Amino acid sequence: MDLHTIFGYLGALVIGVVLGLIGGGGSILTVPVLVYLLSVNPVTATAYSLFTVGFTTLIGAVQNIKKGLVDFKTAFVFATPAFIAVYATRKYLVPAIPQHIGTVYGFVITKDMAIMMFFAIIMLLASISMIRNNQKISLEGNKVSYNYPLIVAEGIVVGVLTGIVGAGGGFLIIPALVLLAKLPMKKAVATSLLIIAIKSLIGFIGDIENLKINWLFLLAFTAVSVVGIFIGTYLSNFIDGKKLKKSFGWFVLIMGCYIIYKELTH
């Protein structure tokens, strides 16, 4: 096992630890770890990320269901358009993107490069959300109500974004659940995990026919990430995850800038 592979699996562990500690955000690292440390093709990496993210967040969702924190009606309303959109994106849209997209001032834009650049932009948006960490949007005590047209629209947007970059999109889902479904913040965070799990795993199903899946590697990578979740959950008894979130946001910001630099210069 070479050094890159060792660091790749350590990255999988870190992804799980971050998910366990701060309840989200860690999945944004999955694609960079797979692409830059384990040399997985970006399209395949986004597919593997969907499986890893889906499986790991499902564990968190089950724990929240046991605590009675998940609002199933809201999850169903939001997840339905999201999983239809993510499945269609993985099954039809991503394979339809040409390998050679075009040339701008002599600069060749490839499919792999476009996906990584788009992913980097999503990382930058996620990092800003984590750095600001604005909890003031919480509407504790408000009766749960639904703005159905906006929830469906948001679900479709999140589904397409998830389908392209393979990340969970919690930084988009949680504010939507609070503002559009009037969920308290704690329930919004818990419900978002179930939504992420459902749409990620259904999105991955759209890849099975299109891509050759290395199941041994994928299951091993996911298993290491799951171990990380249990470590992170244990550490959360001693470390305040909310304080870590802003620091992790800065790390994600740097990573996003690095990906843009790497894709433009290689």
Q: What is the Cα–Cα distance from 14 to 20, expressed in whole angstroms?
A: 10
In angstroms, the CA 265 to CA 97 distance is: 22
pTM: 0.81
pLDDT of residue 136: 52
CA atoms of 85 and 87, how far apart (whole Å): 6
Place of tokens 């946001």: 249
> Residue 236 gets which letter from DSSP?
T
Tokens for 205, please give them: 């199903």
pLDDT digits (tens, 9 = 90+) for 19-48: 777 766 667 888 889 988 999 998 899 899
Rg (Cα) of the chain, in Å, rounded?
A: 18
Q: How confident is the model at residue 241 (pLDDT cuts 50, 70, 90)?
A: low
Please check whether residue 47 is in contact with residue 193, taking contact to mean a CB–CB distance below 8 angstroms: no
Question: In this predicted model, what pLDDT tens digit does every residue of 85-110 receive, in sequence order?
Answer: 988 988 888 888 888 888 887 778 88
CA distance 106 to 101: 13
Strand partners, 102: 109
Measured at the alpha carbon of residue 259, what is the angle toward residues 101 and 198, in degrees to the nearest 5? 80
- Which residue(s) pair with 103 in the sheet? 108
> Half-sphere exposure of residue 117, counting CA atoms within 13 Å on the CB side?
11
pLDDT tens figures, 145-165: 667 788 888 888 888 888 887
The pLDDT score that the predictor gives to residue 34 is 92
Hey, CA dihedral for 45, 123, 162, 95, is it positive or negative? negative
CA distances from 203 to 32, 42, 69 (A): 19, 16, 25
